[in-house]
Amino acid sequence: MKKKFACLAMAMIMVLSLAACGGKEEAPSSGSESGAAAFMLGGTGPLTGGAAIYGNAAKNGAQIAVDEINAMGGIQFELKYEDDTHDPEKAVNAYNALKDWGMQISLGSVTSKPCEATAAETYADRIFALTPSASSTATTEGKDNMFQMCFMDPNQGSASAQYIADKTLGTKIAIIWKNDDVYSKGIHDTFTAKAAELGLEIVSDTTFADGNDTDFSVQLSDAQKAGADLVFLPMYYQPASLIFAQASNMGYAPKWFGVDGMDGILTMEGFDAALAEGVMLLTPFNADSDDEATKAFVAEYQKRFNEIPNQFAADGYDCVYAYKQALEAAGATPDMSAEELCGLMIEQFTSMTFNGLTGDGMTWDASGAVSKSPKGMVIENGAYVGLD
């Protein structure tokens, strides 16, 4: 019933979200004086709403990269993010606003469903797009100018199954996934396919959806009854935190294996880290890494935004640097049209190798999917520790 009237209430949200943006608008990036020629870089993401944590992280990460690059001299960027509240329709509006602003190259959208919508637009308009984190297959499918910085969902699923089999982490596996979420379903589908290939036995396969994502007793007792010794959780960390709490109440303690959406669980305010003890996950970015570049990024992010950056922030940061590398290699100048840049970028991205925070030696194939190796992590004493 509420949904029927939601569109009528939309006007209200729009006013509110605009007001929200107005309040938080940051000063224009330091390096780009109005006269200096800069590449106009735009992206959409959920800056308000339930998924705002991801949009703001990607935006903040990209902003840091832009400021650093502008301060170096040489290539200059001007960055603009528009709010899409994780809604495909609003993402297209936000994209159109960016086009009016004069966007030449795009950061796509932060989350999968909106990015599928804006990818169709960038494809039609011949604007090159590199999304930090929209990981569904449909984002890049059939579009020669749409590239991803993150793993594609299917790759995460098969990589996880491969990892579990290689390390013999479990023999009887249960999966709990969110069946109204393209991210969760994509990982689930490739995980089960790969598991069958590798001879991993899946003994329990249960789902939840928006609206019944609070009580997991049925899913957990199904896994427990089937004798699962490892539970795979392709989902974001918020439902996962409930699953851990309820399993601990039931006295069920299998091994837990998550995906990149699990990243962030330890920064949840009030979360009892003991519940996540021993949770394993594959993720391309680790804020606790000893790597120099990562340490500098984490310090800068903490200074500016007062929180530890997650993988989305690192993806946003990497996107801008990948653009810098590609634009320099192509000898591109800001007076080129979006269409010219699009051709150059396709050429560069399919041939270059990029080292960033989220992986060394990244390459892209013509479909737009990135190839990099995920790192296995385990949560020990409330911190991520590398598994290998």
Partner 1 sequence: MTFLNFLISGISLGSIYAIIALGYTMVYGIAKMLNFAHGDVIMVGAYICFYAVSRFSLPPLAGVVLAMLVCTVLGMLVERLAYKPLRAAPSLAVLITAIGVSYFLQNTALLLWSSNPKVFPSVVGNGKIEMFGGQLTISHVTIVTIAACVIIMLALTWFTGNTRMGKAMRACSEDKGAAQLMGINVNATISMTFAIGSGLAAIAGVLLCSAYPTLVPTTGSMPGIKAFTAAVFGGIGSIPGALLGGLLLGVIEIFAKAYISTQLSDAVVFAVLIVVLLVKPAGLLGKQIHEKV
Comparison of 18 and 299: residue with beta carbon closer to partner 1: 18
Kindly provide the b/e burial profile for residues 257-269, where b requires at least 16 CB atoms within 10 angstroms of the residue's own CB: bbbbbbbbbbeee
Q: Dihedral of CA 336/341/344/345: which sign?
A: positive
Among 93, 96, 206, 355, binds partner 1 (CB under 8 A): 206
Check binding of 347 to partner 1 (CB under 8 A): no
Check binding of 290 to partner 1 (CB under 8 A): no
How is residue 253 written in tokens? 């303690």
Check binding of 209 to partner 1 (CB under 8 A): yes
Among 30, 212, 302, 337, binds partner 1 (CB under 8 A): 212
Among 71, 198, 250, 299, binds partner 1 (CB under 8 A): 250
Q: Distance of CA 153 to CAs 133, 134, 183, 186, Å?
A: 10, 9, 6, 5
Range in contact with partner 1 (rule: CB under 8 A) among 51-59, 116-124, 138-146, 325-333 = 51-59
210 backbone φψ class: left, alpha, beta (φ>0; ψ -120 to 50): beta
Range in contact with partner 1 (rule: CB under 8 A) among 17-25, 69-77, 153-161, 276-284 = 17-25
> Is residue 121 within a helix (H) or strand (E), and if so which, with residue range?
helix 112-125
The DSSP line for 160-213 is: HHHHHHHTT--SEEEEEEETT-HHHHHHHHHHHHHHHHHT-EEEEEEEE-TTS-
Report, in Å, the least distance between residue 2 CB and partner 1.
6
Let me know: does 254 contact 223? Beta carbons within 8 Å: yes
Check binding of 53 to partner 1 (CB under 8 A): yes
Report, in Å, the least distance between residue 180 CB and partner 1.
9
Strand partners, 202: 173
Check binding of 271 to partner 1 (CB under 8 A): yes
Check binding of 27 to partner 1 (CB under 8 A): no
Check binding of 50 to partner 1 (CB under 8 A): yes
How is residue 300 written in tokens? 């800068």
Check binding of 245 to partner 1 (CB under 8 A): yes
Among 40, 41, 52, 75, binds partner 1 (CB under 8 A): 52
Range in contact with partner 1 (rule: CB under 8 A) among 45-53, 65-73, 87-95, 313-321 = 45-53
Check binding of 242 to partner 1 (CB under 8 A): yes
Check binding of 266 to partner 1 (CB under 8 A): no
Report, in Å, the least distance between residue 82 CB and partner 1.
17
Check binding of 278 to partner 1 (CB under 8 A): no
Check binding of 203 to partner 1 (CB under 8 A): no
Q: Distance of CA 16 to CAs 10, 19, 48, Å?
A: 10, 5, 10
Check binding of 383 to partner 1 (CB under 8 A): no
For residues 178 and 358, what is the distance between their CA atoms, to the nearest angstrom? 26
Comparison of 248 and 353: residue with beta carbon closer to partner 1: 248
Among 93, 171, 207, 363, binds partner 1 (CB under 8 A): 207
Check binding of 179 to partner 1 (CB under 8 A): yes
Q: Distance of CA 45 to CAs 30, 138, 317, 346, Å?
A: 22, 17, 15, 23
* Ordered strands of the 146-148 beta sheet: 77-83, 39-45, 105-109, 129-131, 146-148
How is residue 343 written in tokens? 């051709």
Check binding of 241 to partner 1 (CB under 8 A): yes
How is residue 76 written in tokens? 């200059």
Q: Distance of CA 166 to CAs 159, 163, 373, Å?
A: 10, 5, 15
Number of amino acids touching partner 1 (CB under 8 A)? 49
Comparison of 144 and 213: residue with beta carbon closer to partner 1: 213
Residues in contact with partner 1 by the rule CB under 8 A? 1-2, 5-6, 8-9, 12-13, 16-17, 20, 23, 48-53, 179, 206-215, 217-219, 221-222, 225, 237-238, 241-242, 245, 249-251, 267-272
